[in-house]
Chains A and B, each alone.
Chain A
Amino acid sequence: MKTVLVLALGEIREGLRNRWIAASIVLLATLAFALSALGSAPMGTVNANALSVSVASLSSLSVYLLPLIALMLSFPALVGELERGTLLLLLTYPVARWQIVVGKFMGHLGILMLAVCVGYGVPALVTGFQGDNGWVGWQSYLAMMGSSVLLGAAFIALGYVVSASVRERATAAGLAIGVWLVFVVLYDIGLLGLLLADGDQRISPTLFSSLMLFNPTDAYRIFNLMGSGGASLVSGLAGLAEQVRISAALPLAVIALWVVAPLAAATALFYRREV
């Protein structure tokens, strides 16, 4: 456990030092401020408070941004150290391979949590108290922050799978972008195409939402849109979640699965790796 912690703290220290954390915070906070400023417009006419509107707009942008940040953070994790020669050195230390994966994961998760908490938290504190938000608004905002971290965790784990399976950093970078494209863009396009092709509506809403839920980014979307009642007023997609009644825990469980399974896969791949 101590070894894992040493590795995690080392990772966080590096993140602070090479300004990864700072850059992510600035990016997320800028986004959150910008959206809450834009969000003030619908607030006047629609019966939704500022934070709930922020949840809808922020979560639909986080879906693109957080996987990207997470993948950028994690794809060099193993292959980068392999190239630098530090992985070989690390493996001669009393450190097991799974400890390296878990330690790095904890470190990267820490970095992401810090970025989300500060980047999304501070704008909420600044703008949130201006309107009459009530507990529900805060609750859904906090749930959005929590699920954002979870979504990031899934893509950190996916980044490790990439990192453990290639020999060059550049290949890993390309693959990471591919992973992002598939999960964030192509999967949804595919689903839409499926709907269009399905003229006789053989695909039931249940099947469709199961397909949607299978993708961690869509699970994240569903969770955040159904979580805030106000959000469904400003977002058309939420209608779908309302059509098929599901528990809020289900999308979270799906994302959690996308954390655990890739992490296990990355560890297994890493054990087979010749350094």
Chain B
Amino acid sequence: MDAKDQPGQPAIALDTVSKRYGAQEVVHDLSLAVAAGETLALVGPNGAGKTTLMKMILGVTRPSGGTVRVHGHDPMGTGTAALRTSIGYLPENVAFHGAMTGMELLAFYARLKGEPVSSCAALLERVGLTDAAKRRVRTYSKGMRQRLGLAQALLGHPRLLVLDEPTTGLDPTLREHFYRILVEQHTAGATALVSSHALTEIEGRTDRIAIVKDGRLLVCGTLDELRAKASLPVRIRLMVDPGTAAAVAERIGNGITLSKVNDRTVDLHCLNGDKMTVVRRIGELGQPVNDLDILPPRLDQVYAHFAGEEETS
């Protein structure tokens, strides 16, 4: 490693990166920076180029154009051993050698990373595989194999975690467990790049979200920033005294879109910027309104807004 890491230097910096396989362009002029210690979600339809992007960051695939820097280094350059040691990767589909036990496999990867084999037991414990450590991987369930994959990614306290659809095939409990580990890593200062299709899970669990489609970065920012950019309406639901719904709807009516009215509830939506005005007006209504819920657009709606357009048209 030549240069020392500079403070404030992004953990990952992609600058107009492109990747072609033959005539097919999988990644197109993509620029993206991930700050050190940040958790970034990479979302997008299948074949959007997420995995290719990860491979370029991991130094397995050379970009056709542009530059990739990880902690200031070219991951495809020479002398990247130290850089690689500091990265943990969980591939999307990994089938470990079935004849080996979980412990043996983890020990193998630990040796390759120059980590003491004695650290493996604690790691297996952390992902909840202690009881299965001496069983052959062939007998593992999908969730257990995924946890073994996570254990190897956590070897040697990586500064950067690259996780390709880490929660597919996991049951809700395991997913929770997985995100708990991710939070622990985040607290410890690790950067994480997580790709996922499970949008509801990612919401609130990552710092920023990057939406990728057809090898292009559509948008990147915090969920609030994405909501603002999408200018999707905020839904407001009023719970009213039985029978007064129609009257309430009539009184707030002007300038606000009513989406649904029934006996006890009134659903309306407005732009995020108008939210406070609307809430004040509702406040003036007084008694018939018992309660209200404000539902900002969810990530899946934001995602559909950015990535779904072309599919619907």
Residues in A lying within 8 Å of B, measured CB to CB: 2-3, 6-7, 10, 13-14, 17-18, 84-86, 88-95, 274-275
Contacts and interface: CB of A to CB of B under 8 A. Distances in A.
Interface of B: 21, 55, 58-61, 80-82, 84-85, 87, 89, 91-97, 99-100, 104, 108-109, 111-114, 152, 162
A18 B85 CA distance: 30
Contact of B84 (A10, A84, A94): A94
B114 A94 contact: yes
B91 A95 contact: no
A32 to B, nearest CB: 27
Given A92-B59, A94-B112, A274 B97 contact: no
Contacts of B82: 94
A102 to B, nearest CB: 14
Contacts of A89: 89, 91, 94, 152
A95 B112 contact: yes
A97 to B, nearest CB: 10
A3 B109 CA distance: 10
30 contacts: A2-B114, A6-B111, A6-B112, A13-B100, A14-B97, A17-B99, A18-B99, A84-B97, A85-B92, A85-B95, A86-B94, A86-B96, A86-B97, A88-B55, A88-B94, A89-B91, A89-B152, A91-B58, A92-B59, A92-B60, A92-B87, A92-B89, A94-B80, A94-B81, A94-B84, A94-B85, A94-B112, A94-B114, A274-B21, A275-B61
B113 A85 contact: no
A3 B111 CA distance: 8
Interface centre among A3, A85, A93, A95 (most CB of B within 10 A): A93
- Closest 3 CB pairs between A and B? A94-B81, A94-B84, A17-B99
Contacts of A6: 108, 111-112
B112 A93 contact: yes
A167 B61 CA distance: 16
A13 B105 CA distance: 11
A17 B152 CA distance: 21
Contacts of B96: 84, 86
B102 to A, nearest CB: 13
A254 B152 CA distance: 43
B1 to A, nearest CB: 12
Given A84-B96, A85-B91, 8 more contacts: A6-B108, A14-B100, A86-B97, A89-B152, A92-B60, A92-B84, A93-B84, A93-B109
